Structure 1
Amino acid sequence: MPDESASMNPRDLEEAFSLFTAASRQLSDAYADLQQQVEFLTTQLEIANGNLRRELEEKAALSRRLAHLLACLPAGVVELEADGTIFALNPAATELLAPLTVGENWHRFLSDKLQSTPVTDIWVYPRAQGALRLSMVESDMPEEDRRILLVHDLTASWALEQALTQHKRLASMGEMAAGLAHQLRTPLATALLYAGHLSRAELAEADRIKFGEKTTARLRHLETLIQNMLRFVRGQDMSLEPVGLVATVTEAAQTLQPQMDIRHLRLSLKLPEDEILILANRKELLGVILNLLDNAMLASVDDSEIGLSLERVGDNAFLRVSDAGCGMSAQVQARLFEPFFTTRKEGTGLGLAIVRNLITHWHGDVEVRSASGEGSVFTLRLPARRDPTNV
């Protein structure tokens, strides 16, 4: 068998060796590159693992803080499934809504145990140890088929609010009683003084008649004070009926026209052709209009003009009484509707208080625009009935 190595050309061997060397170099370079990539990827993986560990630790810490927050939160937190099943309760919710537990149906518990109130989202939970007044608001959990119910205990704040309301009511009653006592004291003392004169045997008949008339006048003034007080207190207990505003305003104007004529006061009357119906008490409504007109007369000088207008705007009727009299300062206007506040010596201080009390009860409001020396404008707004034929 012939020797193949002996027969190979040295040049071919040299080329083959060169090719082998080049291939070995390429393999070495490729291995080096691969080793560098492995080292780079290993470094990146370690960085990613480190970031992931930090994120997990941060999320674990956040989860612990949230769990601690829910445990310490004074408000109740209830997690609900889509069908209303209780999924989770924090300790406050467990205490407030006991014996509610996980797995129960919230809607059934709500209908069986809690009582609704006129205020939205406020419920009463009757319990043997005392009823709770709870605020409960639901909200959806983003991207989850669950809801969160937040429960706040308003029992203490509600009790404080009720006590404050009671104290304000008692304070108002005390102020009213003090004001009424002040109003009654002067005419009563005067009446007693005149009555003392009547007991004198040497009193002339003419003087006896004079003192008798003055005593009667003071006693009638006392009766007026008491009647006004009763009207103010019981103003919201009167029956209501549809009342024609145009007819009532016309009657009030006719009633006071003779007194205006004596002082040469001109009444500028502007009334709509169609009747305007409101829900009120006719007798008291007439008294309200007469009160405003009487005040305008007292504030006006002789031979001046008083305005009385009525119009309907949408679902409201507006009645305005204006005068060009002395007007009022801002300080007087601030107290104008207070019971027993008056700037007149013979005033009772209840007229405008009664006006506002009645107008408010009829779901309206009253406002005044005035300035010293520029007259005053009183405006009453009252809801007008939609059906003018339903009288």
Structure 2
Amino acid sequence: LHWAVRQRDDDTRRLIATGFAKIPLAERKATTERWLGSALQQTSPYLRHLSKVLIAALLALAVLLVWLWTLRRAVKHRTTDLLAARSALAERVRQQTCLHAVFKASEDLDAPVPSMLADVAGAVRAGAARPQTTGVEIEWDGQHYLSSKLGNADVRLSAPLRLDGQVRGKLTVGHRSTRQDGGGRALDDLQALVDVVAQRLATVFERRALQEERREFDRQMFQMEKLSTMGELTMGLAHEIGNPLGGMKAVVQSLQFEAAISDDMRGDLVRLESEIDRLSAFLRGFHGYAAEQAPAPEACMLRQILDDVVLWTRRDANSRKVRVELGDLDALPPLWADRHQLKQVLLNLVLNAIQVQPDGGVVTIEATCTGRQLTLTVADSGPGIPQDVQARIFEPFFTTRPGGSGLGLPIVRKIVQDHGGLIAVASAQGGGTRVTLTWPIATRDHDPDDPAR
């Protein structure tokens, strides 16, 4: 009715004016049908547009649902990526923390290698995702350093440790795998960490080697400076001591021609003269470290020289209850050597063997001849020489004995080498020391007065 009023239908106005209920039934039906027909006619375009609107709304709803589903998947994937990125970041932070600890543990190049490697192994284990199920082992030059045992590890990753292109050891990391490990990516990350730590250790050992070489070079330079200074000093010593020795030798020689002295006294004077000559030769050899001085070799019998050495070391041997035993030396051929320098070598070796046995022991001197060389050994029953000391016993000025000069064995080696011989030292902790000399024997080629030469 409201719509009809709006249409200003005359019948409608009349019906409203007269009252709809007063209209006869037939007229009311006709009027209603007319109203409905007119209403349908008026609203049919709107109904057609309404269907299109409904279809468009349904399509929009479908598009919205598809967009929401796509958005949900994108959010899910993004969340997964963010979680993976967070896990990777946490792993990266853990690795960086581990590497920082490794660098910190290995930065002191003067630290002992065992303690340094033990600290590095502990840092690698602490930087693992699950330290309680992780074990680390570092092998270097045959020695093993563990942070924990690898017995329960079913996954082991390793990297070689190289120095100067040679494999000197290996770094191994093992752990017990679980479902939370992350598969192959986690193993790749762990292998990358192992490789970086192995490279760091290789760099550390290379720097240690360079530092040791530099220190050795500095030590040699210092020794050369000391030798140069020693050469200057010995020139003065040779003058200050050599002159009195020359006077003493003249007195001893004059006493030998006295008729009133006994044969034993004359023999002692001969030995005293020989010792004066040896002291003079020692001064020349001492100076020889700064200025080369060739030996004056001659044919000499080893037994005679050793008898003098035993005589002059008897007092030291008796005070320490050390027994000096000589092997069968009578059948040996003569040696080609500077007599005084050879006596200096043997006296130094025998005295060293006696002095390392303060509570008694045995010094054994033996010799054998093979071809054109004689092999002489001086062995003692002392405590032996530690392995780290053996590498330095021939260094000038290196000594472990209080009051020692550190020049005895260096001079011995120089004399032996000047004669074309060899010297070797074999020692075991608690098993004594054995010094072996290889010395040329006198032949016809050495004797210029031999007519058969």
If the length of structure 2 is used for normalisation, what is the TM-score? Answer: 0.37
Structure number, greater radius of gyration = 2
